[in-house]
Structure 1
Amino acid sequence: MPRAVVALFVSMILAVACAPPEPPASRVEALRSARDSFGVRMLYPTSGRTWTADFTRARTLGPGDSVGDLWNRGNGTLRIVGDGTAIASGNTQRHYIGDRSERRQWGSMELTYYARRLDDLTRDELLAGPSNAGVTAEVRTGDGHSSGGSAAQRCEGRAYGGSFRFYGHASFAKELQHPNYAPSSAADTAGGSVRRNVWPSGVPRNTWIGFKLVVYDRPGEVVLELYRDLSGGAAGGTWEQLIRYVDQPGRWGIPDTPTLCGMPTDRIISEPGPFVIVRNETTRVQYRDLTIREIEAAPVAGSAYVDIGDSIFVGAIRWLEGRGDLVPCNPPFNTWFCPDDALQRDEVAAFFARALDLSPPGGDRFRDDDTSPFEDDIEAIAECGISRGCNPPTNDRFCPDAPVTRGQMAAFFDRAFDLPRATRDHFTDDDGSIFEAAIDRLAAARITLGCNPPTNDRFCPDDPVTRGQLAAFLKRALESVPPTSACVCRASAEVCNALDDDCDGAVDENASAEVCGGGDDDCDGAIDENARPETCDGVDEDCDGAIDEDDHAESCNGIDDDCDGAVDEIACADGGAPPVDGGASDPDGGGTSASDGGVGVRADAGRADASADPTVLSGGCGCRSTGARALPSLWLLGLLWPLAARRARRR
């Protein structure tokens, strides 16, 4: 076979074998793109009922709903426009969603709608009018909004409310009985914010504004969040969090004692209610795309994540969260951890960079990670040798969206923690895996237990790694492996190499006067540029590698000209005197023979011995050696061996 054909054949096989898997669609992007039935972005996962109103008729229910009807109350009217919108008019316009007989009431929920003001009032007129002019949603409430009702009815009027006041404020309000309530101006003993001026000139007229109120329980507290979207719903909306408030007992008090209900004035409203109320006051408002969804209602106490309560890895997840090492899966809201979802390579980089406190080294070694939110983390773990790339031998790609298998994860941990050698084969299903050695070291370190409890004689090397599993791996590794074994910054003397050698956060900060030694001491990019005539002082002034080679006849000048160790031993016999002006032998360190290392040859030989230290990577100090083991390409040798043998026979 001609050599050109052989070369082409081999190159084609290499290209196929080394090509990374086709990356799937980004799971993080899929989460960020989760939409309701109107195409509006959802911030929290749905856990129960969903109610929608598309305003094609006055009373609209979503598929499968059984929460009752939508109706009007007050002296206003609701006019169906016919284009999926409705116009509400009147000074006490309210829309109740719910049913008093419904056994499952509204508790933790995410409520969304778009509203457009149709009035012609100026901001000054709004400020002079009723303080509650705007749009509001009230949750966890009942049909008790009547000051003349019975005690039981008025106690049902308890509610948390979120509002956009048309003069410019976003605010929360709370009441335990109607009409005793704590508006946004009420004192908060913990200093939390329940009001914010977000439209200094007032809410714009004839403009669709997205309104989103989120209320959910955590043990001993209730979390309130208020968002807006100014894009009119484009691409699901660009939701901006305006206020977030955590109500706890004793934190947000009611001005007047609610004697009818017999409740403390500072209690939280943890009970669900039969109704959600959407209302507007004194102005004409147009509505569209109204959705109420029940969301995950049992997050773990003290955690920012609402979806980890049922995970078997909740302990490890909370442990990493306490260290600040978690990577959420729904940025920028950062309320989901997605413990059961498979990991992507860039997410793994983010977890390791946080857990090992790695800093980005600078540079850009991969050409396919520029759009990843974790590009700096990718560069950091590559600098430390935890990952080398996904397209060997070039390794100029990282494949940030590619999934990660359990076998690959074992290799990541083996490189990151320099795991000790294993003494036995721990699993029965990894014998053909190129990661077998790393898997056994992972098991020997008790970082993994196996994938088939209680037997645990299998590792499942080809299965994807979930985010919860990685949390468990990291917790065990960080607790059991000494920190000195991790990829950390190992301090050494700072030299001019564009790296932070002494791990103080600064680069090349210890520039000094240039001396001969083959290094750039003054960090100007030039080496040994300050060569000068040789003198007898034990220093290579002319940078030729020899010391004191240019001996001269001794003269009376306070210098050892002939380099015999004696000064002026002959030349000054006639009574001459050495100079006294602080010349080359000035004892105060101003000359070239300073002994404190300021301008002389460095005692630590920072550049010369750096490569002799087997625990320091050639890339510079930022990382300790990971002990990564090169894996021979046995399959490639097997492919090329017959070709070589065939050529040998021809000879």
Structure 2
Amino acid sequence: MSTRGVVLACLLALVLAAGLGVLVTSARDGSRGDGPPRAEPLLDRMATPEQERAKEDSFGIRYLEPTLHRGTLWESRWTGTRRFDGVDPADPWFDADHGTGTYRVEDGQLFVTGEHPRMYVYDPEKQRQWRDVEVTVYFRRVADADIAYAGMTAVARSNHLETESGTQQCDTRGIGARIRYDGHSDFEKETSFPLNEAASNLELWPAGMPHQRWIGMKYLVHDRPDGVHLELYMDLEEGRGGGDWRLVNRLVDDGHVLGQVACAPGVDPRMMLTRSPRREGSETGLPNLTVFFRSDGVSRDGLVYKWASIREIDATP
């Protein structure tokens, strides 16, 4: 074969190889090769384009920050009637198999009973972790042991699924907001179960948290260059008009504010608990797996929840 023939044969081989590559790529991404690739399918509890554009949740409660693109979005499914003391049989993301508590669902509300009720919300496949979040819940105090620091607590930036064995102490770290039975609000940082430290204690009601009144709570946790921003909002209008959300407490944890007891030797207890999926000392590699609700000393059906949601947000300034 002549030199010219060899060159032509090589060019033809290159063209055929390029075409084959397009076909292979098209087969992999589901496209025909003459248009944009098809978008990745949405995962369970991943925000749809409609939810990303929405200004309120399915309960009509107004958002304070926009929804993160393809962010995780959980909303309570407390319809119908049922009882449980573990994972909610109607919602595998809602795991109440922690602490000591029993739960009853009726007509969109969750009735809580127990000395130490603990309710965790997380991906049951343990693949996705929470990042910046806006946590919303409405609660009503009915009957309890009047423990001052108890009440409505939401905790983020945590895993906390294993607390009894002592083998995952660094994964018990987390930072929460509290609206307390004694009428105060504050933030608490747990650095090694069961030890925590509270800060920014502000009085909301001089005579204590009222009974038989619906109180809306929003807890926002998001990273900024100066630290982890914690914001606590309250609505006393039972969601009318999306809620009259008033900022009642805030704190910036810059890594020097909270934390005295380390979860392990060499781990700084004051370190910021950021949205990063990796954290020094984490035993499971899933330090932000859960967001959870908790209280203490709750009498039978003594604390009621409704309209709960956890949503990843885009809090870019």
Q: Provide the TM-score with structure 1 as the length reference.
A: 0.35
Matching of residue 296 in structure 1 with residue 302 in structure 2:
no
Aligned with 2:61 (options 33, 37, 40)? 40
Q: CA deviation at 1:100?
A: 6.2
Matching of residue 204 in structure 1 with residue 210 in structure 2:
yes
Provide the C-alpha distance between the structure 1 equivalents of 2:144 and 2:273, rounded to a whole number of angstroms: 37
Provide the C-alpha distance between the structure 2 equivalents of 1:182 and 1:71, rounded to a whole number of angstroms: 26
Letter in 1 for 2:143: D
| Structure 1 contact 52–60 (Cα < 8 Å) conserved | no
Provide the C-alpha distance between the structure 1 equivalents of 2:144 and 2:123, rounded to a whole number of angstroms: 36
Name stretches of at least 5 consecutive residues in structure 1 with no aligned partner.
1-32, 62-67, 185-193, 300-304, 306-651
Question: Who is 1:86 aligned against?
Answer: 110
Stretches of 4+ moved more than 3 A in 1? 57-61
| Structure 2 contact 94–119 (Cα < 8 Å) conserved | yes
Q: CA deviation at 1:245?
A: 0.9
Question: Who is 1:177 aligned against?
Answer: 192
Higher normalized helix content (fraction of residues):
1
Matching of residue 160 in structure 1 with residue 175 in structure 2:
yes
Letter in 2 for 1:138: V
Letter in 2 for 1:236: G
Question: Who is 1:263 aligned against?
Answer: 267
| Structure 1 contact 59–69 (Cα < 8 Å) conserved | no
| Structure 2 contact 72–130 (Cα < 8 Å) conserved | no
Aligned with 2:250 (options 244, 253, 260)? 244
Letter in 2 for 1:46: T
Deviations 1:240-274 (A, max 9, x none): 10111111022x13133x15263213211014511
Letter in 2 for 1:290: A
Q: 1:229 to 1:264 in 2, by over 3 A?
A: same
Question: Who is 1:77 aligned against?
Answer: 102
Matching of residue 107 in structure 1 with residue 113 in structure 2:
no
Deviations 1:532-588 (A, max 9, x none): xxxxxxxxxxxxxxxxxxxxxxxxxxxxxxxxxxxxxxxxxxxxxxxxxxxxxxxxx
Partner secondary structure for residue 92 of structure 1 = strand
| Structure 1 contact 102–274 (Cα < 8 Å) conserved | yes
Question: Who is 2:76 aligned against?
Answer: 53
Map 1:588-599 → 2, pairs under 5 A: none
Map 1:9-408 → 2, pairs under 5 A: 34-47=55-68, 48-56=71-79, 58-60=88-90, 68-72=92-96, 73-81=98-106, 83-99=107-123, 101-119=125-143, 126=146, 130-144=147-161, 146=163, 148-150=165-167, 153-184=168-199, 194-250=200-256, 252-256=257-261, 258=262, 260=264, 262-270=266-274, 271-272=276-277, 273-283=288-298, 284-296=302-314, 299=316, 305=317
Name which one, 1 or 2, has greater alpha-carbon Rg.
1
Provide the C-alpha distance between the structure 2 equivalents of 1:278 and 1:120, rounded to a whole number of angstroms: 16
Q: Provide the TM-score with structure 2 as the length reference.
A: 0.71
Q: CA deviation at 1:52?
A: 0.5
Map 1:469-484 → 2, pairs under 5 A: none
Letter in 2 for 1:161: G
Q: CA RMSD in A?
A: 2.0
| Structure 1 contact 113–212 (Cα < 8 Å) conserved | yes
Q: CA deviation at 1:281?
A: 1.2
Q: 1:148 to 1:206 in 2, by over 3 A?
A: same
Report which structure shows greater RCO (CA 8 Å, sep ≥6): 2
Q: 1:131 to 1:247 in 2, by over 3 A?
A: same
Partner secondary structure for residue 65 of structure 2 = coil
Provide the C-alpha distance between the structure 2 equivalents of 1:165 and 1:201, rounded to a whole number of angstroms: 12
Map 1:501-580 → 2, pairs under 5 A: none
Q: CA deviation at 1:214?
A: 0.3
Q: CA deviation at 1:220?
A: 4.8
Partner secondary structure for residue 266 of structure 1 = coil
Higher normalized strand content (fraction of residues):
2
Provide the C-alpha distance between the structure 1 equivalents of 2:295 and 2:144, rounded to a whole number of angstroms: 15
Provide the C-alpha distance between the structure 1 equivalents of 2:105 and 2:173, rounded to a whole number of angstroms: 30
Partner secondary structure for residue 156 of structure 1 = helix
Letter in 2 for 1:89: T
Partner secondary structure for residue 139 of structure 1 = strand
Provide the C-alpha distance between the structure 2 equivalents of 1:39 and 1:69, rounded to a whole number of angstroms: 22
Deviations 1:214-256 (A, max 9, x none): 0001135110000110001111110110111111022x13133
Partner secondary structure for residue 232 of structure 1 = coil
Name stretches of at least 5 consecutive residues in structure 2 with no aligned partner.
1-53, 81-87, 278-287
Q: CA deviation at 1:293?
A: 0.4
Q: 1:117 to 1:95 in 2, by over 3 A?
A: same
Deviations 1:441-493 (A, max 9, x none): xxxxxxxxxxxxxxxxxxxxxxxxxxxxxxxxxxxxxxxxxxxxxxxxxxxxx
Q: CA deviation at 1:43?
A: 0.1
Partner secondary structure for residue 169 of structure 2 = helix
Provide the C-alpha distance between the structure 1 equivalents of 2:263 and 2:248, rounded to a whole number of angstroms: 33
